[in-house]
Amino acid sequence: MRPKKRSTAMGIRKEAQSGPPVKRFGIFLLLFLLLLFMAVGSLALGKYPLALCDIINFILFKFSHVGQIDPLRYQLQESLLLDIRLPRILAAILVGASLSVSGTAFQAMFVNPLVSPGLLGVLAGGSFGAALGMVFFKSWVAVQMCTFLFGFAAVLISVGIAKMHKGNTILLLVLGGVISGALFTSLLSVIKYIADPYNQLPAIVQWLMGGLSMVDRKSLLITGIPQVASIVLIALFSGYLNALSMGDEEARALGIPVEWVRLFLIFLATIMSALTVVMAGMIGWVGLIIPHVTRMLVGPDNKVLIPASALIGAIYLIVVDDVSRMLFNVEIPIGIATSLIGIPFFAIILKKARRGWG
């Protein structure tokens, strides 16, 4: 039974949700401005501090040649802002948004608010692929390809296992995901065992803890475009997601070709999540926590929830990345930071989380 007393978070949600479209628009505007503010603010943060006015001067000079900057200083600023900080911030935005949106979509289509994007094994498969690549290939591009391919393969195995049997598709998919995830986790152990313990193993371990420091502009473009496209497509499917979250039979009785829609959405979510591993390694808990928080703020309607969770996920990852590189002298891997923030938070909201699967 639900307790009568409502916490403030639920109160906010109710208010926001029942509001007219104008109010919803206001929330999006607010979130968007917050994201912009965070992104620009983070440009100024770092070991080499830059004042906001320096950044504004730089941008003005770069794009319209207004003002004056010492050439040496200009070069320093250019490499710092455009080659290091900006790609990293954009990557944080993309990874945060992708994980949050695929988490939201998974929670709706698996009719359970407690599942995360890794449910079907994409993160385990991607990690194995990355480790495999680091041990057997020299080139970074090959490692990235390997990561993506095995992330995809893991999901294919889950779906394949579910298709092999007849019965409750959702449950079978989840079990398939457990099997596939376990398989790739053990394979990862094999790779760790055979890896050279002086160079390769530390690199693998570091990668598995997640980090945005490896991001460069070129790979950002290649991974970013499919991620943005997938987010947009999932957002367009959000009306169907609402119906899917009522269970298979109801969705089918509403005329939705459930099997196809679900496969397509799994496909999109897999692309997005696999690419986050390609970009930044294993970043846990974002895809579970952010959809939850967003649902508390804007309600469960996926038409609002999907774009809002993309924005909130992006903001969250920028903040966590700032914290992880600023808090101590050495950078904390971002995956560790998201887990350490996410786990206690999850323990707290668990009580409010709605039970799934009956």
Which of 67, 247 has the CB closer to other proteins?
A: 247
Shortest separation between residue 251's beta carbon and other proteins, angstroms: 9
Give the per-residue contact string, 296-335, with other proteins (x = CB under 8 A; - = no).
---xxx-x--------------------------------
Binding residues for other proteins, rule CB under 8 A, total: 35
| CA–CA gap between residue 111 and residue 127 (Å, rounded) | 27
Binding region for other proteins (CB under 8 A) out of 75-83, 90-98, 108-116, 193-201: 108-116
Name 201's Cβ contacts closer than 8 Å, sequence gap at least 6. Answer: 192, 195
Binding region for other proteins (CB under 8 A) out of 51-59, 139-147, 238-246, 275-283: 238-246
Does residue number 21 form part of the binding site for other proteins (CB under 8 A)?
A: no
Which of 41, 356 has the CB closer to other proteins?
A: 356
DSSP-H helix ranges across 45-168: 52-64, 71-78, 86-109, 122-136, 140-164
DSSP-H helix ranges across the chain: 8-18, 21-44, 52-64, 71-78, 86-109, 122-136, 140-164, 169-194, 200-208, 217-236, 238-244, 248-253, 258-280, 286-298, 302-326, 334-349
Q: Is 354 exposed, middle or buried (0-12, 13-18, 19+ CB in 10 A)?
A: exposed
Asked whether 334 and 345 are in contact (CB, 8 A), the reply is no
Does residue number 54 form part of the binding site for other proteins (CB under 8 A)?
A: no
Which of 48, 357 has the CB closer to other proteins?
A: 357
Which of 100, 180 has the CB closer to other proteins?
A: 100
Contacting residue, 7, 11, 14, 259, with other proteins by CB under 8 A: 14
Does residue number 243 form part of the binding site for other proteins (CB under 8 A)?
A: yes
Does residue number 351 form part of the binding site for other proteins (CB under 8 A)?
A: no
| CA–CA gap between residue 177 and residue 162 (Å, rounded) | 9
- Among candidate residues 185, 51, 178, the one with its CA nearest the CA of residue 120: 178
- Among candidate residues 194, 41, 46, the one with its CA nearest the CA of residue 131: 194
Asked whether 280 and 91 are in contact (CB, 8 A), the reply is yes
Does residue number 9 form part of the binding site for other proteins (CB under 8 A)?
A: no
Does residue number 260 form part of the binding site for other proteins (CB under 8 A)?
A: no
Shortest separation between residue 174's beta carbon and other proteins, angstroms: 14
| CA–CA gap between residue 182 and residue 198 (Å, rounded) | 27
Shortest separation between residue 103's beta carbon and other proteins, angstroms: 14
Q: Return the residues of window 266-295 that contact other proteins according to CB under 8 A.
A: 295
Asked whether 57 and 67 are in contact (CB, 8 A), the reply is yes
Contacting residue, 51, 70, 193, 249, with other proteins by CB under 8 A: 249
Which of 108, 212 has the CB closer to other proteins?
A: 108
Dmax (CA) of the chain: 70
Does residue number 11 form part of the binding site for other proteins (CB under 8 A)?
A: no
Which of 20, 49 has the CB closer to other proteins?
A: 20
Shortest separation between residue 343's beta carbon and other proteins, angstroms: 22
| CA–CA gap between residue 143 and residue 134 (Å, rounded) | 6
Shortest separation between residue 356's beta carbon and other proteins, angstroms: 5
Asked whether 110 and 170 are in contact (CB, 8 A), the reply is yes
Which residues contact other proteins by CB under 8 A? Answer: 2, 14, 17-18, 108, 111-113, 166, 236-237, 239-240, 242-243, 245-247, 249-250, 252-257, 295, 299-301, 303, 354-356, 358
